[in-house]
């Protein structure tokens, strides 16, 4: 019966909600990444300990987490650039999946025992009473289906991210190099607290993947072409020429957006949000740089606009890509 403890923990974890900083990812990259480094898998619930004094801790339910994950998945698929990795959210999701799998295993073991017991005791009740048995199986069936659905979203999300890591391999590498040179120049001011942009952008597994992919790519290019050329023709990251060699995301790509508003729902507390009457509307104002044309992004409406103009709103969860 050593399993009981695990089960109780699983049950508790499912119902008690994880506590975390009110903002995740882009705004607090430092905290987020530090937590990854400092805490092992059991650290979810104590994440904000000791640091939550200045920030209001926010209660996040498993359902919210899942909905957020689906939104992130959709955003990732529609955005030209690689979006920041949700370290905390992903860790919570993975823990829940693991626990749910254990839970299901126990459930199905019980079913197996029950059905064999039922058969051997010659009772015959369960066997003859198929629908009742079926009713009992239903939750298990649904929970298994649910697990598959969660796994699907995570897989699809990660695959999408990896395809971008492939596509922008050199570009991502360049971001990191820029950061490293800046760091050297700035001496040791706050040096220890600085988190590399890649660590905010990617999970540690993704970073590893990126490094490996990059060295494979470099090796391939070197072995097949570059080593036969003179030194000055060997660059793969020349950005000075007439055409930039490094593929960057198309920042101005047209994307479909739905305007959500502040995640808290408190329209009047969002300094960026403009309130106008007749007709009454709350909107964000964005400006097309070359024409100075202002566009009203009204809450609840759908637009097709250039990615660059909305990417800050996207990272603040005020709009979603669709």
Partner 1 sequence: MSLPNQLQDTFSPKELQFMVENEPIKIFPRFTTRQRIRKQRNDLLGTDSHRWKMMTMDDTSLNNMMAMQSTTVTLWIALLLKQQSKCNIIAPEWLTSKALDRALQFEQTNTLRFSPLPWDWLIISEILFKKAPDDFHDRVHELRSKIQDLREIRQLKVAKGIRYMNESHLQLDNLSLLEINELRPFISGIMDKLRDIHLAAVDAGGEDEMMGEEDDNDEMFNGTMRNESSRMS
Partner 2 sequence: MGYYDIDDVLTDNAEIPCKFLHDIPGLGYLENNPGGSIHVNSQLKLPLWLARVLAIVEVAPEVDPITGIASEENTPFITLMTPEAFSIKVINAIKTDPVALDIHSINPQFYALAIKWIGLFGDRDLAEIVSELLLKRAQVINSHANSITISYKNDSINHNSKSMNNQTVFTLTLDEFEKKIFKQANESYKDIKKWMFQS
List, as one string, the DSSP characters of 29-84. Answer: HHHHHHHHHH--GGGGGGTTTTTTTSS--EEE-HHHHHHHHHHHHHHHHH-SSPPP
| CA proximity to 9, closest of 107, 96, 104 | 96
Dist CA 181 CA 200 (whole Å): 18
Q: Which is closer to partner 2, CB of 80 or CB of 262?
A: 80
Cβ-contact 194, 183 below 8 angstroms: yes
φ, ψ of residue 2 in degrees (nearest 5): -65, -15
The packing angle between helices 87-120 and 62-78, to 10°, is 120
Determine if 229 is a binding residue for partner 2 (CB under 8 A).
no
Q: Which is closer to partner 2, CB of 132 or CB of 245?
A: 245
Q: Output the six-digit token pair for 60.
A: 């996040």
Dist CA 211 CA 173 (whole Å): 8
Residue from 246, 260, 274, 295 in contact with partner 2 (CB under 8 A): 246
Residue from 117, 121, 123, 146 in contact with partner 1 (CB under 8 A): 146
Q: Output the six-digit token pair for 119.
A: 């058969």
Residues that bind partner 1 (rule: CB under 8 A) add up to a total of: 62
Determine if 245 is a binding residue for partner 2 (CB under 8 A).
yes
Determine if 247 is a binding residue for partner 2 (CB under 8 A).
yes
Residue from 67, 117, 121, 244 in contact with partner 2 (CB under 8 A): 244
Report in angstroms how near the CB of residue 321 gets to partner 1 at its nearest: 10
Binds 74: which of partner 1, partner 2, none (CB < 5-8 Å by kind): partner 1
Dist CA 197 CA 168 (whole Å): 14
Residue from 244, 254, 264, 267 in contact with partner 1 (CB under 8 A): 254
Residue from 30, 46, 123, 152 in contact with partner 1 (CB under 8 A): 152
Determine if 301 is a binding residue for partner 1 (CB under 8 A).
yes
Binds 36: which of partner 1, partner 2, none (CB < 5-8 Å by kind): none
Sign of the C-alpha dihedral computed for residues 209, 215, 218 and 224 taken in this order: negative
Determine if 111 is a binding residue for partner 1 (CB under 8 A).
yes
Dist CA 170 CA 106 (whole Å): 47
Report in angstroms how near the CB of residue 239 gets to partner 2 at its nearest: 10
- Residues forming the site for partner 1 (CB under 8 A): 4, 7-8, 10-11, 14, 62-63, 66, 70, 74, 77-78, 80, 96-97, 100, 103, 106-107, 110-111, 134-143, 145-147, 149-150, 152, 156, 159-160, 162-163, 166, 250, 252-256, 288, 290-291, 293, 295, 301-306, 322
- Residues forming the site for partner 2 (CB under 8 A): 243-247, 250
């Amino acid at each position: 019966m050593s399993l009981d403890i695990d089960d109780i923990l699983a049950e508790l974890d499912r119902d008690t909600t994880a506590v975390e900083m009110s903002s995740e990812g882009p705004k607090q990259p430092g905290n987020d990444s530090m937590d990854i480094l400092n805490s092992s898998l059991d650290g979810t619930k104590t994440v904000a300990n000791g640091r939550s004094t200045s920030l209001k801790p926010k209660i996040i339910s498993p359902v919210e987490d899942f909905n957020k994950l689906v939104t992130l998945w959709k955003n990732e698929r529609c955005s030209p650039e690689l979006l920041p990795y949700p370290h905390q959210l992903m860790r919570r999701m993975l823990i829940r999946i693991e626990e749910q799998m254990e839970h299901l295993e126990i459930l199905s073991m019980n079913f197996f025992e029950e059905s064999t017991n039922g058969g051997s005791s010659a009772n015959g009740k369960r066997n003859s009473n198929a629908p009742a048995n079926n009713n009992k199986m239903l939750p298990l069936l649904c929970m298994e289906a649910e697990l598959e659905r969660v796994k699907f979203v995570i897989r699809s999300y990660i695959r999408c991210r990896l395809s971008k890591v492939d596509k922008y391999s050199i570009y991502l590498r360049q971001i990191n190099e820029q950061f490293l040179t800046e760091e050297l120049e700035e001496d040791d001011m706050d040096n220890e607290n600085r988190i590399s942009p890649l660590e905010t952008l990617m999970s540690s597994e993704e970073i590893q993947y990126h490094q490996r992919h990059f060295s494979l790519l470099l090796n391939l290019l070197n072995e097949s072409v570059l080593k036969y050329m003179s030194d000055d023709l060997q660059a793969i990251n020349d950005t000075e020429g007439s055409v930039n060699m490094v593929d960057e995301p198309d920042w101005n790509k047209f994307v479909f957006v739905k305007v959500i508003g502040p995640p808290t729902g408190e329209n009047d507390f969002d300094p960026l949000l403009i309130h106008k009457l007749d007709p009454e509307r709350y909107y964000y104002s964005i400006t097309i740089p070359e024409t100075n044309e202002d566009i009203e992004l009204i809450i609840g409406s759908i637009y097709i606009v250039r990615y660059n103009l909305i990417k800050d709103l996207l990272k603040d969860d005020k709009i979603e890509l669709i």
